[in-house]
Structure 1
Amino acid sequence: MRWTVRSKPPKEKIDHLMEVLGVDEITATLLLQRGIETFEGAKKFFRPSLDDLHDPFLMKDMQKAVDRIEEAVQNKENILVYGDYDVDGTTAVSLVSSYLQTFYPQVATYIPDRYEEGYGVSFQGIDFAEDNDFGLIIALDCGIKAIDKVAYAKEKGIDFIICDHHRPGDEIPDAVAVLDPKQEDCNYPYDELCGCGVGFKLIQALASKRGETIADLQPYLDLVATAIGADIVPITGENRVLAYYGLKVINENPRAGIKAITDQVKKQSMSITDVVFIIAPRINAAGRMKHGQHAVELLTETDFNTAIQFAEQIEEFNQDRRALDEEITKEALLQIEKNKEEACFSSVVYDEKWHKGVIGIVASRLTETYYRPTLVFTKSGEKLAASARSVKGFDVYNALNACAEHIEQFGGHKYAAGLTLLEAQYEQFKMKFEEIVKETIDPKLLTPEITIDAEIPLSKISPKFYRILKQFAPFGPGNMRPVFLSSGVCDTGYGKCVGQEEDHLRITVTQDDAKPIVAIGFGLGHKYELIAEKKPFDLAYTIDENEWNGNVSLQLKIKDIK
């Protein structure tokens, strides 16, 4: 692990915030590191308001999209709400379709089959629309590169509205409206929305024309917060407001489908981390193991008892997914070990038997283990399909772009992408990808980095300090949970390895006259020697709460020990 301690902001800025906010030096430092320099900025950060959401009509083509939907309603056309099979796509489809159905019945949903149709807009989907007399398709979380598909639909007299957040290519599809804040000529003030977030801006625009307020749309924000967490978009600006209010809905009055999931795990209060690790994998499991339409059924169901049945079925998919992902990860790790000599800068693995639904998860696991830009391939029809994951600071989308001569098609983000290629191109692609990564990556990015916000004494940690830290939530990219460093701490002598395999570390740390505090390090059992016999060590950690037998106490979550 590389430890990088953030540089301290200028003293005059710290002093100013301490004075105007009445906070201590550490809190002022944390705020300045997050770009908050004024009383007004702090107020917006700590008290997010739905009034801070931008006018949806600032997004390029929004007026065209609203006009076309209003025209479809007026002419009694059938509207097909189409979206990808992952969490962002299925939540977006659930959001837009359920909103439209509050005032217009002729709305249906379509999620492409992961195995037969693949990612994004498909020719089969357009044929389905033609066969069932749909005049308008609203594509969510996909479509920005579907130039041939949109042209194919146009020939059949079917119009498209695209709501996407992926990077556009050189050409934009010839749709009635293209809503994507990443378009170069779109002046929307915030371009980090997820696909469901763009869908929300569309219903916000429609609602404003119908005399509805943002408060009327608040019940839909549980879906938006779920997508924000699952798609790992920055929790800054508009996303922070949407996530903050979406979590309130999840915890206070969620839709039947989300309540059915959270009731299964019996968790009292959900944070964005819980959304990522509890709600999102279950929604994703439908598209991975069976069909994404199952997720839409769950998320749009209004009867709680029926939702429970859907959730139980999806839980079975999730259990199957976990078993498969463990098995494939083991096989992929063996493959990397075997081919270690071939590639030092990237990990590219392939097995035609691997389940296409879990290769993205496996790619993430391999990246965690070897910390290299990683691609996991499997057979998909006549071609090979892959999921790509990257390490912090390296743009895997750009790396794939540099290998475009060997790829059939690809799309995605800086840190996650998907692609297909012909089997005959696999070896050449693999060599080219390794070459590009080797040429363009800063070698230090191949060692995981812990970014430390501030060094503090253990005596600083108190319930009051933790209450302030909690107000920095929701955490995520762009606003990570603060990481602290305490130097020269010691275990009180009761530290031990815990867990079935004894691979976790549980210690009680103290420093000078500070009150001892429990610290837990998952996967850090191998560091036991560093803390044994009350030897002093440096500790990088976050602060958390531990609930045990109804008692709540502060604990440290260890990131690393040196």
Structure 2
Amino acid sequence: MRWTLKPKPDPDTVTRLASQLNIGIPVASLLVQRGIENFEEAKKFFRPSLDDLHDPFLMKDMDLAIARLEQAIDREENILVYGDYDVDGTTSVALISSWLKTFYPNVATYIPDRYDEGYGISYKGIDFAADNDISLIIALDCGIKAIDKVAYAAQKNIDFIICDHHRPGIKIPQAVAVLDPKREDCDYPYKELCGCGVGFKLMQAWTIKNNFPLDILLPYLDLVATAIGADIVPITGENRILAFHGLRVINVAPRPGFRAILQQVKKETLTITDVVFIIAPRINAAGRMKHGQHAVDLLVEENQETANIFASEIEIYNSDRRDADRTITLEALAQIEELEEQERYTTVVFDENWHKGVIGIVASRLTETYYRPTLVFTRSGEKLAASARSVKDFDVYDALEACSDHIEQFGGHKYAAGLTLLESEYENFKRKFEEVVSGSIDKRLLTPEIAIDAEINLEDITPKFHRILKQFAPYGPGNMSPVFMTQNLMDTGYGKCVGGEDLHLKCRVKQANSPIAIDAIGFNLGNKCDLITHKKKFNAVYSIDENEWNGNVSLQLKLRDINC
């Protein structure tokens, strides 16, 4: 692991902020690192307000989208809400369809089949709309590259409003409105919304146009928060506001579908991390193992008993997903180990029998293991399909773009993407991808990095310090849980390996010349137990956590790494 200490912020700014907020220097320093330099900015950070959301009409084409939606309602047209089969897509469809149905009845939903139709807008979906006298499709979390399909729909007198957040290609589809803050010609001030977030901006614009209070949209923010967490978008700016209020809805007044999931796992108060690891995988499992429409049905269901039945079915899908994930990961790891090649800068594996719905998860596992830009391929009809994952600070989307001569179709983000290609191009693509990555990646990025916010002493870790840190949440990209380093630590004699196969490290540490001692747990650090025995001094990188045992709550260090 590379330990990288972030640059210290300007000391005068830190001192001034500490005085204004009546807080210690360590906390003030963390705030300045996050761009918070005065009382007003701190107030907005600690008290995220819906009043600070941007005007949705700053987004290009928003006025056109609202006008077309009004026209559809005035003419009593049938509207199809169309979204991708992942968490962002299914929550988006649940969001817009359930909202529309509160004041307009002629609304249907459509999620493409992962295996039959693939990602994004499909010809089959457009034909479904035409066969059902639907003249307006609202596409969410997809569509920004669907130039031919939007043109095909136009031939059938079907209009599109596209709400996407993926990077556009060279051309923009000829839709009635294309809402995407990543459009080069869009001046919207916040670029990091997820697809569900863009859908929410459409709803916000409607409330403004019709003089409704924004508070009527609060109950829908649980869906937006879930999409923000699952899609790993930065939890900064508007995303942080939406996630903050959405988490509050999940915890205070969860919709029946969420309540049913939480009953399955016996979890009460959720953080954004819980959303990512408890709710999101179950929503995703429907699209991976069966069909994404099952997730939409769960999320829009208003009857608790019915929602419980849906959640039980999805729990089975999630169990099947875990089994497939485990099996394919082991097969992929074995395949990599069999390859006797020179050092590679990429990991590319393929098996035609791997489950297409799980290859994205497997790509993430392989990236964690080998820390290389990774592609996992399987067969999809007559073509090969792959999920791509990347390492921190390397843009896999750009790398795929450089290989586009060998690709049929691709799309995605900096760290996650999907693609299809002809089997005849597999070896050519694999060779080109390795060439592009090896020629462009900073070799330091091939070693996992721990970014350290600050070096502190154990005596800095007071109840007040941790109480303020908890208010930094919700955490995520752009606002990660603070990571600290402390030097010259020593185990007090309780250090030992715990867990199956002695996988984890548990100890109680103190710092030289200080009486303060604090418990620490290091998951998957059992192999470093020798570094702390016999009163050896060591350095640790950690976050600060709460440990609850027998009703008692105490602070503990959650170790990320240790060294001598």
Q: Same fold (TM over 0.5)?
A: yes
Matched residue type, 1:515 = I
- Corresponding residue pairs, total: 562
Q: Say which SS state the counterpart of residue 186 (structure 1) adopts.
A: coil
Q: CA deviation at 1:516?
A: 1.8
Q: Is 1:506 equivalent to 2:517 in the alignment?
A: no
In structure 2, the residue matched to 1:519 is: 520
Q: Is 1:354 equivalent to 2:364 in the alignment?
A: no
Inter-partner Cα distance in structure 2 for 1:260 and 1:40: 40
Matched residue type, 1:55 = D
Inter-partner Cα distance in structure 1 for 2:515 and 2:543: 17
Inter-partner Cα distance in structure 2 for 1:514 and 1:53: 47
In structure 2, the residue matched to 1:202 is: 202
Inter-partner Cα distance in structure 1 for 2:343 and 2:227: 34
Cα shift readout 1:485-541 (whole Å, capped 9, x = no counterpart): 010101111111111222111111111324221111111111111111221100000
Q: CA deviation at 1:12?
A: 1.1
Does the Cα contact within 8 Å between 1:459 and 1:514 map onto a contact in 2? Answer: no
How high is the TM-score relative to the length of structure 2?
A: 0.99
Does the Cα contact within 8 Å between 1:112 and 1:120 map onto a contact in 2? Answer: yes
Matched residue type, 1:58 = L
Q: Is 1:421 equivalent to 2:421 in the alignment?
A: yes
1:57-206 to 2 correspondences below 5 Å: 57-206=57-206
Inter-partner Cα distance in structure 2 for 1:536 and 1:116: 59
Matched residue type, 1:551 = N
Matched residue type, 2:508 = T
1:268-279 to 2 correspondences below 5 Å: 268-279=268-279
In structure 1, the residue matched to 2:553 is: 552
Matched residue type, 2:333 = L
Does the Cα contact within 8 Å between 1:394 and 1:415 map onto a contact in 2? Answer: yes
Q: Say which SS state the counterpart of residue 501 (structure 2) adopts.
A: coil
Inter-partner Cα distance in structure 1 for 2:109 and 2:31: 43
Cα shift readout 1:420-445 (whole Å, capped 9, x = no counterpart): 00000000100100110000000000
Which stretch of structure 1 is more off in the superposition, 46-55 or 493-502? 493-502
In structure 1, the residue matched to 2:544 is: 543
Q: CA deviation at 1:38?
A: 1.4
Q: Say which SS state the counterpart of residue 321 (structure 2) adopts.
A: helix
Inter-partner Cα distance in structure 1 for 2:343 and 2:422: 21
Q: 1:514 to 1:409 in 2, by over 3 A?
A: farther
Moved segments of 4+, more than 3 Å: none
Q: Say which SS state the counterpart of residue 178 (structure 1) adopts.
A: strand
Inter-partner Cα distance in structure 1 for 2:128 and 2:419: 25
1:139-538 to 2 correspondences below 5 Å: 139-342=139-342, 344-511=344-511, 512-538=513-539
Inter-partner Cα distance in structure 1 for 2:534 and 2:282: 44
Q: 1:189 to 1:183 in 2, by over 3 A?
A: same
Q: CA deviation at 1:464?
A: 1.4
Inter-partner Cα distance in structure 2 for 1:466 and 1:262: 27
Inter-partner Cα distance in structure 2 for 1:155 and 1:342: 53
Q: CA deviation at 1:342?
A: 4.8
Inter-partner Cα distance in structure 2 for 1:70 and 1:487: 62
Q: CA deviation at 1:209?
A: 2.5
Q: Say which SS state the counterpart of residue 44 (structure 2) adopts.
A: helix
Q: Say which SS state the counterpart of residue 501 (structure 1) adopts.
A: helix
Inter-partner Cα distance in structure 1 for 2:481 and 2:224: 21
Q: 1:547 to 1:116 in 2, by over 3 A?
A: same
Cα shift readout 1:353-396 (whole Å, capped 9, x = no counterpart): 00000000000000000000000000000000000000001000
Inter-partner Cα distance in structure 1 for 2:305 and 2:105: 24
How high is the TM-score relative to the length of structure 1?
A: 0.99
Matched residue type, 2:124 = Q
Q: CA deviation at 1:261?
A: 0.9
Matched residue type, 1:542 = S
Which stretch of structure 1 is more off in the superposition, 270-279 or 259-268? 259-268
Inter-partner Cα distance in structure 2 for 1:425 and 1:303: 50
Inter-partner Cα distance in structure 2 for 1:213 and 1:266: 35
Matched residue type, 2:441 = I
Inter-partner Cα distance in structure 2 for 1:342 and 1:293: 45
Inter-partner Cα distance in structure 2 for 1:507 and 1:111: 49
Cα shift readout 1:202-261 (whole Å, capped 9, x = no counterpart): 111112223321111000000000000000000000000000000100110011111111
Inter-partner Cα distance in structure 1 for 2:293 and 2:340: 40
Q: CA deviation at 1:283?
A: 0.4
Which stretch of structure 1 is more off in the superposition, 551-560 or 294-303? 551-560
Q: CA deviation at 1:97?
A: 0.3
Q: Say which SS state the counterpart of residue 544 (structure 1) adopts.
A: strand
Inter-partner Cα distance in structure 2 for 1:16 and 1:210: 44
Q: CA deviation at 1:343?
A: 5.1
Does the Cα contact within 8 Å between 1:343 and 1:434 map onto a contact in 2? Answer: no
Matched residue type, 1:233 = V
Inter-partner Cα distance in structure 2 for 1:254 and 1:334: 43
Matched residue type, 2:43 = K
Does the Cα contact within 8 Å between 1:547 and 1:553 map onto a contact in 2? Answer: yes
Inter-partner Cα distance in structure 2 for 1:14 and 1:553: 29
Q: 1:65 to 1:340 in 2, by over 3 A?
A: farther
Does the Cα contact within 8 Å between 1:236 and 1:479 map onto a contact in 2? Answer: yes
Does the Cα contact within 8 Å between 1:56 and 1:62 map onto a contact in 2? Answer: yes
Q: Say which SS state the counterpart of residue 533 (structure 1) adopts.
A: coil
Does the Cα contact within 8 Å between 1:288 and 1:357 map onto a contact in 2? Answer: yes
Inter-partner Cα distance in structure 2 for 1:98 and 1:339: 50
Matched residue type, 1:299 = L
Does the Cα contact within 8 Å between 1:163 and 1:180 map onto a contact in 2? Answer: yes
In structure 2, the residue matched to 1:11 is: 11
Q: CA deviation at 1:340?
A: 4.8
In structure 1, the residue matched to 2:34 is: 34
Does the Cα contact within 8 Å between 1:325 and 1:362 map onto a contact in 2? Answer: yes
Inter-partner Cα distance in structure 1 for 2:272 and 2:103: 31
Does the Cα contact within 8 Å between 1:458 and 1:514 map onto a contact in 2? Answer: no
Q: 1:514 to 1:480 in 2, by over 3 A?
A: farther
Q: Percent identity?
A: 70
Q: CA deviation at 1:278?
A: 0.5
Matched residue type, 1:434 = E
Q: 1:343 to 1:145 in 2, by over 3 A?
A: farther
Q: CA deviation at 1:557?
A: 0.7
Structure 2 gap ranges (5+) = none
